[in-house]
Structure 1
Amino acid sequence: MAKYLGATKLAIPSAGNAGGALAAYAARARLEAHIFMPRDTPRANVTECCELGAHVTLIDGLITDCGAEIARRKTEEGWFDMSTLKEPYRIEGKKTLGYELAGQCQWQLPDVILYPTGGGTGLIGMWKAFDEMEKLGWIGNKRPRMFAVQATGCAPIVRAFEAGEKTAAEFPNARTIASGLRVPKAIGDFLMLNILRQSN
Protein backbone atom coordinates (compact mmCIF):
# COMPACT_ATOMS: atom_id res chain seq x y z
CA MET A 1 0.00 0.00 0.00
CA ALA A 2 2.83 2.41 0.79
CA LYS A 3 4.20 2.06 -2.73
CA TYR A 4 0.72 2.33 -4.23
CA LEU A 5 0.20 5.56 -2.28
CA GLY A 6 3.48 6.94 -3.61
CA ALA A 7 5.60 6.60 -0.49
CA THR A 8 9.30 6.04 -1.16
CA LYS A 9 10.71 6.14 2.38
CA LEU A 10 9.22 4.21 5.30
CA ALA A 11 10.03 4.59 8.99
CA ILE A 12 9.06 2.45 11.97
CA PRO A 13 10.03 2.07 15.62
CA SER A 14 10.69 -1.57 16.51
CA ALA A 15 12.27 -3.73 19.15
CA GLY A 16 11.24 -7.00 17.56
CA ASN A 17 9.66 -8.45 14.46
CA ALA A 18 7.95 -5.39 12.95
CA GLY A 19 11.30 -3.93 11.93
CA GLY A 20 12.38 -7.11 10.17
CA ALA A 21 9.04 -7.42 8.40
CA LEU A 22 9.15 -3.81 7.21
CA ALA A 23 12.77 -4.19 6.08
CA ALA A 24 11.88 -7.29 4.04
CA TYR A 25 8.80 -5.81 2.39
CA ALA A 26 10.56 -2.51 1.70
CA ALA A 27 13.48 -4.35 0.07
CA ARG A 28 11.07 -6.33 -2.09
CA ALA A 29 9.25 -3.14 -3.13
CA ARG A 30 12.52 -1.22 -3.57
CA LEU A 31 11.58 1.35 -0.93
CA GLU A 32 13.86 2.88 1.69
CA ALA A 33 13.31 1.52 5.19
CA HIS A 34 14.37 3.45 8.28
CA ILE A 35 14.14 1.36 11.45
CA PHE A 36 14.56 3.01 14.85
CA MET A 37 15.37 0.52 17.61
CA PRO A 38 16.23 0.77 21.28
CA ARG A 39 19.97 0.25 21.69
CA ASP A 40 19.37 -2.92 23.75
CA THR A 41 17.23 -4.61 21.06
CA PRO A 42 18.40 -8.21 20.56
CA ARG A 43 21.29 -8.31 18.09
CA ALA A 44 19.46 -10.80 15.84
CA ASN A 45 16.66 -8.29 15.20
CA VAL A 46 19.10 -5.48 14.43
CA THR A 47 21.19 -7.69 12.13
CA GLU A 48 18.12 -8.91 10.26
CA CYS A 49 17.08 -5.33 9.45
CA CYS A 50 20.60 -4.36 8.37
CA GLU A 51 21.02 -7.45 6.18
CA LEU A 52 17.77 -6.62 4.42
CA GLY A 53 19.13 -3.19 3.54
CA ALA A 54 17.30 -1.04 6.08
CA HIS A 55 18.86 2.06 7.62
CA VAL A 56 18.94 1.19 11.32
CA THR A 57 19.27 3.86 14.00
CA LEU A 58 19.82 2.74 17.58
CA ILE A 59 18.31 5.01 20.22
CA ASP A 60 19.18 5.27 23.89
CA GLY A 61 15.75 4.62 25.37
CA LEU A 62 12.60 2.63 24.72
CA ILE A 63 10.38 2.08 21.70
CA THR A 64 8.39 5.17 22.68
CA ASP A 65 11.59 7.21 22.30
CA CYS A 66 12.12 5.66 18.87
CA GLY A 67 8.60 6.63 17.86
CA ALA A 68 9.16 10.18 19.12
CA GLU A 69 12.30 10.48 16.99
CA ILE A 70 10.37 9.41 13.90
CA ALA A 71 7.58 11.87 14.68
CA ARG A 72 10.13 14.66 15.10
CA ARG A 73 11.88 13.99 11.77
CA LYS A 74 9.28 12.45 9.44
CA THR A 75 8.17 15.62 7.69
CA GLU A 76 11.69 16.88 7.07
CA GLU A 77 12.92 13.45 5.93
CA GLY A 78 9.85 12.60 3.84
CA TRP A 79 9.14 9.38 5.73
CA PHE A 80 5.82 7.54 5.69
CA ASP A 81 5.30 6.78 9.39
CA MET A 82 4.54 3.07 9.83
CA SER A 83 4.28 3.28 13.63
CA THR A 84 1.51 1.33 15.34
CA LEU A 85 -1.89 2.89 14.61
CA LYS A 86 -0.33 5.76 12.63
CA GLU A 87 -1.53 4.03 9.46
CA PRO A 88 -4.56 1.74 8.99
CA TYR A 89 -2.97 -1.17 7.18
CA ARG A 90 -1.33 -3.08 10.02
CA ILE A 91 -4.69 -3.54 11.75
CA GLU A 92 -6.11 -4.80 8.46
CA GLY A 93 -3.24 -7.27 8.21
CA LYS A 94 -3.60 -8.38 11.83
CA LYS A 95 -7.27 -9.15 11.19
CA THR A 96 -6.07 -12.28 9.42
CA LEU A 97 -5.30 -13.73 12.87
CA GLY A 98 -9.01 -13.64 13.64
CA TYR A 99 -10.11 -14.96 10.26
CA GLU A 100 -7.58 -17.81 10.31
CA LEU A 101 -8.48 -18.73 13.88
CA ALA A 102 -12.20 -18.82 13.08
CA GLY A 103 -11.67 -20.77 9.86
CA GLN A 104 -9.45 -23.36 11.53
CA CYS A 105 -12.04 -23.78 14.31
CA GLN A 106 -14.91 -24.38 11.85
CA TRP A 107 -16.26 -20.86 12.53
CA GLN A 108 -16.66 -21.52 16.26
CA LEU A 109 -14.45 -19.08 18.14
CA PRO A 110 -12.51 -20.34 21.16
CA ASP A 111 -13.69 -19.49 24.66
CA VAL A 112 -10.49 -17.62 25.53
CA ILE A 113 -7.62 -15.94 23.68
CA LEU A 114 -4.41 -15.10 25.53
CA TYR A 115 -2.49 -12.52 23.51
CA PRO A 116 1.07 -11.34 24.27
CA THR A 117 0.58 -7.58 24.11
CA GLY A 118 2.93 -4.72 23.33
CA GLY A 119 1.35 -2.22 20.94
CA GLY A 120 -1.81 -4.32 20.74
CA THR A 121 -2.42 -4.43 16.99
CA GLY A 122 -3.07 -8.17 17.02
CA LEU A 123 -5.66 -7.89 19.77
CA ILE A 124 -7.37 -4.96 18.04
CA GLY A 125 -7.19 -6.64 14.63
CA MET A 126 -8.73 -9.90 15.84
CA TRP A 127 -11.60 -8.06 17.51
CA LYS A 128 -12.27 -6.13 14.31
CA ALA A 129 -12.27 -9.40 12.36
CA PHE A 130 -14.80 -10.94 14.76
CA ASP A 131 -17.12 -7.93 14.27
CA GLU A 132 -16.81 -8.21 10.48
CA MET A 133 -17.45 -11.96 10.49
CA GLU A 134 -20.59 -11.48 12.59
CA LYS A 135 -21.89 -8.83 10.16
CA LEU A 136 -21.23 -11.25 7.29
CA GLY A 137 -23.20 -13.96 9.11
CA TRP A 138 -20.20 -16.27 9.36
CA ILE A 139 -20.24 -16.40 13.17
CA GLY A 140 -22.71 -15.58 15.92
CA ASN A 141 -22.34 -12.83 18.51
CA LYS A 142 -20.45 -14.96 21.05
CA ARG A 143 -16.90 -13.65 21.51
CA PRO A 144 -13.87 -15.14 23.21
CA ARG A 145 -12.72 -13.68 26.49
CA MET A 146 -9.65 -11.70 25.51
CA PHE A 147 -6.63 -11.46 27.80
CA ALA A 148 -3.68 -9.13 27.25
CA VAL A 149 -0.58 -10.93 28.51
CA GLN A 150 2.28 -8.67 29.59
CA ALA A 151 5.52 -9.07 31.54
CA THR A 152 5.43 -7.84 35.13
CA GLY A 153 8.22 -5.40 34.23
CA CYS A 154 6.11 -3.74 31.52
CA ALA A 155 2.38 -4.18 32.05
CA PRO A 156 0.62 -0.87 31.38
CA ILE A 157 -2.52 -2.49 29.92
CA VAL A 158 -2.83 -5.08 32.68
CA ARG A 159 -2.33 -2.40 35.33
CA ALA A 160 -4.91 -0.07 33.76
CA PHE A 161 -7.43 -2.90 33.33
CA GLU A 162 -7.09 -3.97 36.95
CA ALA A 163 -7.47 -0.34 38.10
CA GLY A 164 -10.60 0.16 35.99
CA GLU A 165 -8.96 2.90 33.91
CA LYS A 166 -10.04 3.83 30.36
CA THR A 167 -6.47 4.60 29.30
CA ALA A 168 -3.10 3.33 30.49
CA ALA A 169 -0.48 5.53 32.12
CA GLU A 170 3.08 5.17 30.90
CA PHE A 171 4.73 2.24 32.68
CA PRO A 172 7.80 3.55 34.54
CA ASN A 173 11.19 1.83 34.18
CA ALA A 174 9.80 -0.66 31.65
CA ARG A 175 11.89 -3.81 31.44
CA THR A 176 11.44 -7.33 30.10
CA ILE A 177 13.52 -9.77 28.10
CA ALA A 178 10.61 -9.96 25.63
CA SER A 179 11.81 -6.88 23.75
CA GLY A 180 8.86 -6.76 21.36
CA LEU A 181 6.51 -6.48 24.33
CA ARG A 182 8.39 -3.66 26.03
CA VAL A 183 5.93 -0.92 25.10
CA PRO A 184 5.50 1.35 28.13
CA LYS A 185 2.76 3.46 26.53
CA ALA A 186 0.67 2.00 23.71
CA ILE A 187 -1.11 4.42 21.38
CA GLY A 188 -4.13 2.10 21.21
CA ASP A 189 -4.41 1.59 24.96
CA PHE A 190 -8.03 2.79 25.06
CA LEU A 191 -8.98 0.42 22.24
CA MET A 192 -7.40 -2.58 23.96
CA LEU A 193 -8.97 -1.77 27.32
CA ASN A 194 -12.39 -1.40 25.70
CA ILE A 195 -11.99 -4.77 23.94
CA LEU A 196 -10.89 -6.51 27.14
CA ARG A 197 -13.93 -5.18 28.97
CA GLN A 198 -16.36 -6.00 26.14
CA SER A 199 -15.06 -9.55 26.06
CA ASN A 200 -15.45 -10.21 29.78
Structure 2
Amino acid sequence: MHARALGARLGLERLYIKDESLNPTNSFKARGQSAAITRAARLGATTIALPSAGNAGNAAAAYSAAAGLACEVFLPKDVKRPFIDECRLYGAHVTLVDGLITDAGRLAADMGGPLGWYDVSTLKEPYRIEGKKTMAYEIAEQMDWRWPDWIIYPTGGGTGMVGMWKAFAEIEQIGWVKPQRRPRMVSVQAEGCAPVVRAYQEGTEKAQPWAEAATLADGLRVPRAIGDFLILRAVMESGGTAIAVSDRSMVDGMLEIGKREGVSAAPEGGAALAAIEQLVADSSIAATDSVVLFNTGGALKYLDVIN
Protein backbone atom coordinates (compact mmCIF):
# COMPACT_ATOMS: atom_id res chain seq x y z
CA MET A 1 0.00 0.00 0.00
CA HIS A 2 1.15 3.52 -0.78
CA ALA A 3 1.85 5.12 2.61
CA ARG A 4 1.12 8.68 1.55
CA ALA A 5 0.66 10.29 4.97
CA LEU A 6 3.74 8.63 6.44
CA GLY A 7 5.71 9.40 3.31
CA ALA A 8 4.71 13.07 3.46
CA ARG A 9 6.03 13.31 7.02
CA LEU A 10 9.33 11.72 5.96
CA GLY A 11 9.62 13.63 2.69
CA LEU A 12 9.32 10.44 0.63
CA GLU A 13 7.12 10.43 -2.46
CA ARG A 14 7.12 6.67 -2.92
CA LEU A 15 6.97 4.98 0.47
CA TYR A 16 5.05 1.72 0.54
CA ILE A 17 4.10 -0.68 3.33
CA LYS A 18 4.09 -4.41 2.64
CA ASP A 19 1.60 -5.38 5.32
CA GLU A 20 2.17 -8.99 6.31
CA SER A 21 -0.26 -8.74 9.23
CA LEU A 22 -3.01 -9.62 6.75
CA ASN A 23 -1.73 -13.18 6.38
CA PRO A 24 -3.36 -16.08 8.23
CA THR A 25 -2.11 -16.08 11.87
CA ASN A 26 -1.29 -12.37 11.50
CA SER A 27 2.30 -12.51 10.19
CA PHE A 28 4.61 -13.32 7.29
CA LYS A 29 5.43 -16.64 8.96
CA ALA A 30 2.28 -18.10 7.40
CA ARG A 31 3.96 -18.03 4.00
CA GLY A 32 6.84 -20.28 4.97
CA GLN A 33 4.88 -22.66 7.16
CA SER A 34 2.18 -23.12 4.52
CA ALA A 35 4.79 -24.38 2.06
CA ALA A 36 6.78 -26.39 4.60
CA ILE A 37 3.87 -28.21 6.20
CA THR A 38 2.09 -28.88 2.91
CA ARG A 39 5.26 -30.59 1.73
CA ALA A 40 5.79 -32.36 5.06
CA ALA A 41 2.34 -33.90 4.79
CA ARG A 42 3.08 -35.10 1.25
CA LEU A 43 6.32 -36.67 2.50
CA GLY A 44 4.44 -38.64 5.15
CA ALA A 45 5.27 -36.65 8.27
CA THR A 46 2.99 -37.19 11.25
CA THR A 47 4.38 -34.71 13.79
CA ILE A 48 5.73 -31.21 13.09
CA ALA A 49 8.24 -29.68 15.51
CA LEU A 50 9.97 -26.33 15.78
CA PRO A 51 11.32 -23.71 18.17
CA SER A 52 9.75 -20.30 17.83
CA ALA A 53 9.71 -16.77 19.18
CA GLY A 54 5.95 -16.81 18.63
CA ASN A 55 4.65 -16.16 15.14
CA ALA A 56 6.30 -19.13 13.44
CA GLY A 57 4.84 -21.39 16.11
CA ASN A 58 1.38 -19.95 15.57
CA ALA A 59 1.64 -20.47 11.82
CA ALA A 60 3.00 -24.00 12.16
CA ALA A 61 0.25 -24.92 14.61
CA ALA A 62 -2.47 -23.59 12.31
CA TYR A 63 -1.22 -25.29 9.16
CA SER A 64 -0.53 -28.53 11.05
CA ALA A 65 -4.15 -28.51 12.19
CA ALA A 66 -5.32 -27.95 8.62
CA ALA A 67 -3.15 -30.85 7.43
CA GLY A 68 -4.22 -33.18 10.23
CA LEU A 69 -0.73 -33.35 11.74
CA ALA A 70 0.39 -33.17 15.35
CA CYS A 71 2.49 -30.12 16.23
CA GLU A 72 5.11 -29.61 18.93
CA VAL A 73 6.08 -25.98 19.53
CA PHE A 74 8.99 -24.97 21.80
CA LEU A 75 8.81 -21.38 23.04
CA PRO A 76 10.94 -19.32 25.43
CA LYS A 77 8.99 -19.21 28.67
CA ASP A 78 8.91 -15.40 28.72
CA VAL A 79 7.24 -15.11 25.31
CA LYS A 80 4.08 -13.01 25.28
CA ARG A 81 0.96 -14.89 26.35
CA PRO A 82 -1.01 -14.50 23.08
CA PHE A 83 1.62 -16.53 21.24
CA ILE A 84 1.26 -19.42 23.70
CA ASP A 85 -2.52 -19.32 23.67
CA GLU A 86 -2.77 -19.23 19.89
CA CYS A 87 -0.57 -22.32 19.51
CA ARG A 88 -2.87 -24.16 21.90
CA LEU A 89 -5.95 -22.85 20.10
CA TYR A 90 -4.87 -24.83 17.04
CA GLY A 91 -4.24 -27.95 19.09
CA ALA A 92 -0.45 -27.78 19.28
CA HIS A 93 1.46 -29.04 22.30
CA VAL A 94 3.55 -26.21 23.77
CA THR A 95 6.79 -26.69 25.70
CA LEU A 96 8.06 -23.58 27.50
CA VAL A 97 11.83 -23.37 27.70
CA ASP A 98 13.99 -21.50 30.20
CA GLY A 99 16.13 -19.53 27.76
CA LEU A 100 16.07 -18.07 24.25
CA ILE A 101 14.95 -19.45 20.91
CA THR A 102 18.36 -21.10 20.48
CA ASP A 103 17.80 -23.05 23.69
CA ALA A 104 14.32 -23.99 22.50
CA GLY A 105 15.84 -25.23 19.26
CA ARG A 106 18.28 -27.50 21.03
CA LEU A 107 15.53 -29.05 23.14
CA ALA A 108 13.27 -29.52 20.11
CA ALA A 109 16.06 -31.34 18.27
CA ASP A 110 17.01 -33.46 21.28
CA MET A 111 13.42 -34.56 21.86
CA GLY A 112 12.27 -34.79 18.27
CA GLY A 113 15.21 -36.55 16.69
CA PRO A 114 14.71 -39.94 18.37
CA LEU A 115 10.94 -39.72 17.82
CA GLY A 116 11.14 -38.89 14.13
CA TRP A 117 9.44 -35.50 14.33
CA TYR A 118 9.60 -33.44 11.16
CA ASP A 119 11.70 -30.37 12.00
CA VAL A 120 10.51 -27.16 10.31
CA SER A 121 12.84 -24.82 12.18
CA THR A 122 14.86 -22.24 10.26
CA LEU A 123 16.91 -23.76 7.42
CA LYS A 124 16.42 -27.32 8.68
CA GLU A 125 14.31 -27.96 5.57
CA PRO A 126 14.15 -26.13 2.21
CA TYR A 127 10.49 -25.27 1.87
CA ARG A 128 10.00 -22.36 4.26
CA ILE A 129 12.29 -20.24 2.12
CA GLU A 130 10.29 -21.23 -0.95
CA GLY A 131 7.17 -19.94 0.76
CA LYS A 132 8.88 -16.69 1.73
CA LYS A 133 9.85 -16.11 -1.90
CA THR A 134 6.24 -15.19 -2.61
CA MET A 135 6.89 -11.82 -0.96
CA ALA A 136 9.29 -10.93 -3.78
CA TYR A 137 6.91 -12.19 -6.45
CA GLU A 138 4.14 -10.02 -5.03
CA ILE A 139 6.40 -6.97 -4.82
CA ALA A 140 7.39 -7.40 -8.47
CA GLU A 141 3.75 -7.52 -9.55
CA GLN A 142 2.60 -4.74 -7.24
CA MET A 143 5.44 -2.44 -8.37
CA ASP A 144 4.48 -2.96 -12.03
CA TRP A 145 7.39 -5.35 -12.70
CA ARG A 146 10.10 -3.00 -11.51
CA TRP A 147 12.20 -3.35 -8.41
CA PRO A 148 11.89 -0.77 -5.64
CA ASP A 149 15.05 1.08 -4.71
CA TRP A 150 14.97 -0.08 -1.08
CA ILE A 151 13.53 -2.92 0.95
CA ILE A 152 13.57 -2.34 4.71
CA TYR A 153 13.27 -5.68 6.47
CA PRO A 154 13.17 -6.53 10.20
CA THR A 155 15.57 -9.42 10.63
CA GLY A 156 15.58 -12.20 13.22
CA GLY A 157 16.14 -15.58 11.60
CA GLY A 158 16.27 -13.83 8.24
CA THR A 159 14.56 -16.40 6.01
CA GLY A 160 12.33 -13.71 4.55
CA MET A 161 15.27 -11.71 3.28
CA VAL A 162 17.07 -14.83 2.07
CA GLY A 163 13.97 -16.04 0.24
CA MET A 164 13.38 -12.70 -1.45
CA TRP A 165 16.99 -12.41 -2.56
CA LYS A 166 16.73 -15.86 -4.14
CA ALA A 167 13.45 -14.93 -5.81
CA PHE A 168 14.83 -11.74 -7.38
CA ALA A 169 17.23 -13.79 -9.50
CA GLU A 170 14.50 -16.24 -10.47
CA ILE A 171 12.09 -13.48 -11.49
CA GLU A 172 14.74 -11.89 -13.71
CA GLN A 173 15.60 -15.27 -15.25
CA ILE A 174 11.92 -15.86 -16.05
CA GLY A 175 11.87 -12.45 -17.72
CA TRP A 176 9.13 -10.84 -15.66
CA VAL A 177 11.49 -8.09 -14.51
CA LYS A 178 14.32 -6.94 -16.74
CA PRO A 179 17.75 -7.40 -15.12
CA GLN A 180 18.54 -4.15 -13.36
CA ARG A 181 19.84 -2.91 -10.07
CA ARG A 182 18.06 -4.96 -7.43
CA PRO A 183 16.65 -3.39 -4.26
CA ARG A 184 19.09 -2.33 -1.60
CA MET A 185 18.34 -4.70 1.24
CA VAL A 186 18.35 -3.20 4.73
CA SER A 187 18.51 -5.62 7.65
CA VAL A 188 16.93 -4.06 10.75
CA GLN A 189 17.64 -5.43 14.21
CA ALA A 190 17.18 -4.39 17.83
CA GLU A 191 19.95 -2.65 19.72
CA GLY A 192 19.61 -5.35 22.36
CA CYS A 193 20.14 -8.16 19.83
CA ALA A 194 22.02 -7.15 16.69
CA PRO A 195 24.42 -9.90 15.59
CA VAL A 196 23.91 -9.24 11.87
CA VAL A 197 24.43 -5.50 12.31
CA ARG A 198 27.64 -6.09 14.23
CA ALA A 199 28.93 -8.54 11.62
CA TYR A 200 28.10 -6.08 8.84
CA GLN A 201 29.91 -3.26 10.60
CA GLU A 202 32.94 -5.50 11.17
CA GLY A 203 32.92 -6.74 7.59
CA THR A 204 32.69 -10.42 8.49
CA GLU A 205 30.81 -13.12 6.58
CA LYS A 206 29.24 -14.68 9.66
CA ALA A 207 27.84 -13.28 12.89
CA GLN A 208 28.97 -14.16 16.39
CA PRO A 209 26.26 -15.04 18.92
CA TRP A 210 24.83 -12.04 20.76
CA ALA A 211 25.23 -12.37 24.52
CA GLU A 212 22.23 -11.60 26.74
CA ALA A 213 19.87 -10.86 23.87
CA ALA A 214 17.01 -8.62 24.99
CA THR A 215 14.30 -6.74 23.09
CA LEU A 216 10.53 -6.37 23.31
CA ALA A 217 10.29 -7.51 19.67
CA ASP A 218 10.19 -11.27 20.14
CA GLY A 219 10.80 -11.89 16.45
CA LEU A 220 14.10 -9.99 16.61
CA ARG A 221 15.40 -11.77 19.70
CA VAL A 222 17.54 -14.27 17.78
CA PRO A 223 21.10 -14.35 19.21
CA ARG A 224 22.51 -15.90 16.04
CA ALA A 225 20.66 -16.74 12.84
CA ILE A 226 21.63 -20.05 11.26
CA GLY A 227 21.55 -18.36 7.86
CA ASP A 228 23.44 -15.25 8.95
CA PHE A 229 25.92 -15.60 6.08
CA LEU A 230 23.06 -15.60 3.58
CA ILE A 231 21.53 -12.48 5.15
CA LEU A 232 24.87 -10.70 5.06
CA ARG A 233 25.43 -11.78 1.46
CA ALA A 234 22.10 -10.26 0.42
CA VAL A 235 22.85 -7.02 2.25
CA MET A 236 26.35 -6.67 0.80
CA GLU A 237 25.57 -7.78 -2.76
CA SER A 238 22.64 -5.38 -2.92
CA GLY A 239 24.59 -2.38 -1.66
CA GLY A 240 22.31 -2.22 1.35
CA THR A 241 23.10 -1.86 5.01
CA ALA A 242 22.27 -3.16 8.49
CA ILE A 243 20.82 -0.93 11.20
CA ALA A 244 20.05 -1.42 14.89
CA VAL A 245 17.23 0.55 16.52
CA SER A 246 16.04 0.99 20.09
CA ASP A 247 12.95 -0.60 21.60
CA ARG A 248 11.57 2.87 22.28
CA SER A 249 11.83 3.79 18.61
CA MET A 250 10.04 0.55 17.67
CA VAL A 251 7.04 1.44 19.82
CA ASP A 252 7.06 4.99 18.48
CA GLY A 253 7.08 3.49 14.99
CA MET A 254 4.12 1.22 15.76
CA LEU A 255 2.10 4.21 16.90
CA GLU A 256 3.17 6.35 13.96
CA ILE A 257 2.22 3.70 11.40
CA GLY A 258 -1.07 3.14 13.16
CA LYS A 259 -2.20 6.74 13.45
CA ARG A 260 -1.01 7.87 10.02
CA GLU A 261 -1.88 4.84 7.88
CA GLY A 262 -4.39 2.81 9.89
CA VAL A 263 -2.10 -0.22 9.79
CA SER A 264 -1.68 -2.57 12.74
CA ALA A 265 2.10 -2.86 13.05
CA ALA A 266 4.13 -5.16 15.27
CA PRO A 267 7.28 -3.81 16.94
CA GLU A 268 9.21 -5.29 14.03
CA GLY A 269 7.29 -3.04 11.65
CA GLY A 270 7.97 -0.12 13.95
CA ALA A 271 11.66 -1.04 13.80
CA ALA A 272 11.59 -0.82 10.01
CA LEU A 273 10.15 2.70 10.22
CA ALA A 274 12.84 3.72 12.72
CA ALA A 275 15.48 2.48 10.28
CA ILE A 276 13.95 4.47 7.44
CA GLU A 277 14.05 7.59 9.61
CA GLN A 278 17.78 7.04 10.13
CA LEU A 279 18.39 6.54 6.41
CA VAL A 280 16.43 9.68 5.54
CA ALA A 281 18.26 11.69 8.19
CA ASP A 282 21.68 10.76 6.80
CA SER A 283 20.50 11.30 3.19
CA SER A 284 20.99 7.67 2.16
CA ILE A 285 17.40 7.56 0.92
CA ALA A 286 16.45 10.27 -1.57
CA ALA A 287 13.02 11.88 -1.72
CA THR A 288 12.24 10.22 -5.04
CA ASP A 289 13.44 6.72 -4.11
CA SER A 290 10.88 3.94 -3.93
CA VAL A 291 10.98 2.35 -0.48
CA VAL A 292 9.16 -0.75 0.76
CA LEU A 293 8.73 -1.00 4.52
CA PHE A 294 7.98 -4.53 5.66
CA ASN A 295 5.50 -4.80 8.49
CA THR A 296 6.07 -8.47 9.25
CA GLY A 297 3.18 -8.87 11.70
CA GLY A 298 0.28 -7.22 13.46
CA ALA A 299 0.09 -5.35 16.76
CA LEU A 300 -2.61 -7.45 18.44
CA LYS A 301 -0.17 -9.84 20.11
CA TYR A 302 1.97 -6.92 21.28
CA LEU A 303 -0.54 -4.43 22.65
CA ASP A 304 1.08 -4.60 26.08
CA VAL A 305 4.21 -2.84 24.80
CA ILE A 306 2.35 0.31 23.76
CA ASN A 307 2.15 1.43 27.38
What TM-score do you get using the length of structure 2 for normalisation?
Answer: 0.64
Larger Rg: 2
Q: State the match for 2:229 in structure 1.
A: 190
Whole-angstrom CA distance in 1 between matches of 2:121 and 2:99 = 16
Is 1:180 the counterpart of 2:180 in the alignment?
no
Select the structure with the greater relative contact order (CA < 8 A; seq sep ≥ 6): 2
**Which stretches of structure 1, 4 residues or longer, exceed 3 Å deviation after superposition?**
none
Whole-angstrom CA distance in 1 between matches of 2:206 and 2:180 = 26
Q: State the match for 1:145 in structure 2.
A: 184
The Cα of 1:137 is off from its aligned counterpart by 1.3
Counting only pairs closer than 5 Å after superposition, residues 105-116 of structure 1 correspond to structure 2 as: 105-116=143-154
Q: State the match for 1:61 in structure 2.
A: 99
Whole-angstrom CA distance in 2 between matches of 1:154 and 1:197 = 20
Q: State the match for 1:34 in structure 2.
A: 72
Bigger share in helix: 2
Q: Provide the alpha-carbon RMSD of the alignment.
A: 0.7
Q: State the match for 1:170 in structure 2.
A: 209
Whole-angstrom CA distance in 2 between matches of 1:181 and 1:77 = 30
Structure 1 unaligned spans of 5+:
none
Whole-angstrom CA distance in 2 between matches of 1:172 and 1:161 = 17
Identity %: 57
The Cα of 1:16 is off from its aligned counterpart by 2.0
Whole-angstrom CA distance in 1 between matches of 2:191 and 2:135 = 25
CA deviation digits over 1:81-134, x for unaligned, max 9? 110000111000000000001100001111011100000010001111101011
The Cα of 1:141 is off from its aligned counterpart by 3.0
Query: SS of the counterpart of 2:91?
Result: coil
Q: State the match for 2:157 in structure 1.
A: 119
The one-letter code sitting in structure 1 at the alignment partner of 2:74 is: F
Whole-angstrom CA distance in 2 between matches of 1:172 and 1:116 = 20
Query: SS of the counterpart of 1:50?
Result: helix
Q: How many residues align?
A: 200
Whole-angstrom CA distance in 1 between matches of 2:206 and 2:109 = 22
Structure 2 unaligned spans of 5+:
1-38, 240-307
